[in-house]
A and B are shown apart, each in its own frame.
Chain A
Amino acid sequence: MKSSYKVLLIDDDIKVCDLIAAFIKLGAKSVDLVIAHDTSQGLFKLENEDFDLVIVDKNLPGKSGLEFITLLRRSFKFTKQPLILLSGSLNNSDVLFSVENKVNDIIVKPFKYAQFLEKLKKALSKIQ
């Protein structure tokens, strides 16, 4: 277990970002959260810093979250990048996509505090 983690959140909804930041501040003090509002911003941040985990929303302006994940997995550097997908609804195609692209977990909106932290911590605990 590391003593601190860096997590990148990509979501275009500022209020949702604020909420996740508040959850993390309350329940996961060891996490340092960086926020990007679209995939190109996110990609830029990923190129310049290392992140322990990326949380990406499915519906984003421009490239969607799914396109973004496909793109990441194609690049050698990010084939093993831990990922969590935020989605408005859980459907079969999303689950299939996640399995195929080795997405660690899916968090369905609207989510609860406990649920969110549990999934976040589970994903972080697998990181050596």
Chain B
Amino acid sequence: MEHSTYYDHDYSPVFVLDKEFNVTYFNGLAGTFLKLSPRKINGKDIKELIPLPESLWHDLKSQALSLGSVGVSSETDFLYLGDSFSFVFRLQNNGDEFLLFCNDLSVEKKLHIKYQKQVELLKESHNQLLQADKVRAIGELTAGISHEINNPLTVASGNTEILGFSLEEEDLNAQRELITSCVDNLDESLGRINEIISGMKGFLHQGQGDKKEYINLDDVIKAAVKLTSSTLKEYNIDLKFNASNGQSVVLGNQTKLEQIVINLIQNSADGIKQKGQSDGLIEIFLGKSSSGHYQTLSVVDNGAGIESKDIPKIFDSFFTTKEMGDGTGLGLSICKKIAEDHQGDLEFENSNNGARFTLKLPVIEVSSYASNDEFFSKINDVDGRKVLVVDNDATILNLCQKIFESTKYIFIGSTGGAEALDVLQKYEVDLIITDLNMPGIDGRTFVRKLRESNGSVPVFYLSSENGLKTYDADKVDLNLSGILLKPFKTEQLVNLLNKAFSNS
């Protein structure tokens, strides 16, 4: 038999079939697979030997009609003698006979499924770890927070009692002043309690998912400072932070970034405590990296710092210099992971007298894929109309992003004129909507600069009624296509887009 020389050494089952699909020859592995004696295979119809749907045989045969042509099936799952298999069949037409190659993918497929499950499990445990770290942070904060709640609670309950006493007085009008002050005190204390509790609840339960939004780092820091204020007070630590007034907007998950800042503040507080510093000071700075590609958030303290031998290990999981039971050694590793999930990084250096942690987050350049982690480098390859929205107000960008999700257009957000020009150097967009009042390069200047190099892309102004005059003045000069007045509704924006794109 000439076939034996070719196929007996093949690592997958091979059958030789005549024109009626009866087996004329098979290799060793085919016999092993079928678990039948040769006389039950030779001369038998292959369709009866391997239980496959008739349509599959039909497809294979119709693909391999002419001499030398090959029919290939897709990955086919089937049961044979109680075991499940996954094969790809190749049927080759040799003129007077067919060759059926069975490519066994069962093992690979089973492994693939197994790994997929393991990856899912890993992802799940990572999420659990993140949540556990939040709970731990809250646990560490609780002692301080319960004290923080106690004072307003005392004031509230005490004032309620005083109110009760004053109601027993004969002349209620004479008590008016006292009652008013009690009610004010009550109101204020309950407000204080509510603030503390809602801060905690928000931190624990909000943003469980990975949803990223345009957020202001000022808000992140303020929320974190509020949650840690009791710890800071306990150790008599001063915290200095100059808000950037909306200059530091990034695309991120508010809760997760808060988690980083809380961890960093607590680390600093621990460092200060360790050093026994009486005038502890933590400073938080916002800024940009020298390359301009990153928004930076630095937490600097005058505590003990980190010993140089420990520095390479600080971001490792379970590495801690704290006493057993005081720390899990997970805080910084989780922070680093969160930063990396934001395409950023967390860096450490010892400063002159303490530690300095710097969180780097990418400056918003192109962020259409907020919900999709596909990074921006691929944006030129994406099909669809791209719309650049320029506004320094994070809420407007978030709103636009949400509206765009329901359309077929691709949203690119930018927080300022300079950034927008940067974006346009790298990517082509089909339409631009820009706010007028922005710090740095404002809307008009942005469009003027844009028109120097690109005269045709449609540009819309986004402004309140006050911007109408500016629009009328610039309309012809800058070849503007229209103006969208704030506040706008979803349909207005969608109509604007549909109309603009139907014209072009």
Whether A and B are associated in the same complex: the answer reads yes
Q: Knowing A26-B165, A59-B234, A109-B154, say if A18 contacts B185 (CB, 8 Å).
A: yes
Q: Which of A14-38 contact B (CB under 8 A)?
A: 15-16, 18-19, 22-23, 26
Could you tell me which residues of chain B, from 141 to 160, have a CB within 8 Å of some CB in chain A? 146-147, 150-159
Q: Which residues of chain B (114-156) have a CB below 8 Å from chain A?
A: 146-147, 150-156
Interface assignment of A97: CB less than 8 Å from any CB of chain B:
no
State whether the Cβ of A50 lies closer than 8 Å to any Cβ in chain B.
Answer: no
Does the CB pair A110–B154 fall under 8 Å? yes
With known contacts A16-B151, A26-B165, A61-B236, A89–B158 Cβ distance under 8 A: no
Verify A15–B147 contact, CB threshold 8 A. Answer: no
Q: Which interface class (under 10, 10 to 19, 20 to 34, 35 or more) fits A?
A: 10 to 19
Q: Does B162 sit within 8 A of A, measured CB to CB? A: yes
State whether the Cβ of B189 lies closer than 8 Å to any Cβ in chain A.
yes
- The residues of B that contact A13 with a CB separation of less than 8 Å are 151, 155
A34 to B: closest C-beta gap in Å: 19
Which residues of chain A come closer than 8 Å to B236, judged between CB atoms? Answer: 61-62
Q: Is the interface of A mostly helix, strand, loop or mixed?
A: loop
- Listed residue (A61, A110, A113) with the most chain B CB atoms within 10 angstroms of its CB: A110
Q: Which residues of A have CB within 8 Å of B162?
A: 19, 22-23, 26, 113
Selected from A19, A61, A62, the residue in CB contact (under 8 A) with B158 is A19
B161 touching A112, Cβ below 8 Å: yes
Q: For the complex, give the distance between the alpha carbons of A65 and B153 in Å.
A: 20
B240 within 8 A of A: no
A112 to B154, CA, bound (A): 8
Query: Which residues of chain B are within 8 angstroms of A26 by Cβ–Cβ distance?
Result: 162, 165
* CB-based contact B150/A15 at 8 Å: no
- In whole angstroms, how far apart are the Cα atoms of A18 and B156 in the complex? 12
- Which of A15, A23, A61, A89 has the most chain B CB atoms closer than 10 A to its own CB? A15
Q: Is the CB of A15 within 8 A of B161?
A: no
Q: Which residue of A lies closest to B185 (CB)?
A: A15
Contact A113 B161 (CB under 8 A): yes
- Does B110 interact with chain A (Cβ within 8 Å)? no
Q: Chain B's nearest CB lies how many Å from the CB of A109?
A: 4
Of residues 170 through 219 on chain B, the ones whose CB sits less than 8 Å from some CB of chain A are 185, 188-189
Main SS of the interface on chain B? helix
Q: Does residue B233 face the partner (Cβ distance < 8 Å to A)?
A: yes
Query: Are B161 and A109 in touch, CB under 8 angstroms?
Result: no
As a 0/1 sequence over residues 226 to 264 of chain B, the CB contacts with chain A under 8 angstroms (1 = contact) are: 000000011010000000000000000000000000000
CA distance A22 to B154 in the complex (A): 13
CA distance A116 to B162 in the complex (A): 13
B498 CB to nearest chain A CB (Å): 57
A88 with B146: in contact, given A26-B165, A62-B236, A109-B153 (CB under 8 Å)?
Answer: yes
Closest chain A residue, CB of each to CB of B165: A26
**Interchain CB contact (< 8 A) of A110 among B158, B165, B185, B233:** B158
**Per-position contact with B for A1-16: 1 when CB-CB < 8 Å, else 0?**
0000000000001011
Q: Closest CB of chain A to B180's CB: distance in Å?
A: 13
Contact B157 A110 (CB under 8 A): yes
Does chain B have a CB within 8 A of A78?
Answer: no
What are the residues of chain B within 8 A of A18 when measuring CB–CB?
155, 185
Q: Which residues of A contact B154 (CB under 8 A)?
A: 16, 19, 109-111
A59-B147, A88-B147, A88-B151 given; 8 more Cβ-contact pairs under 8 Å: A15-B188, A16-B151, A19-B155, A22-B162, A23-B158, A109-B154, A110-B150, A110-B153
Question: Residues on B close to A: CB < 8 A?
Answer: 146-147, 150-159, 161-162, 165, 185, 188-189, 233-234, 236
Using CB atoms and an 8 Å cutoff, list the residues of chain A in contact with chain B. 13, 15-16, 18-19, 22-23, 26, 59, 61-62, 88-89, 109-113
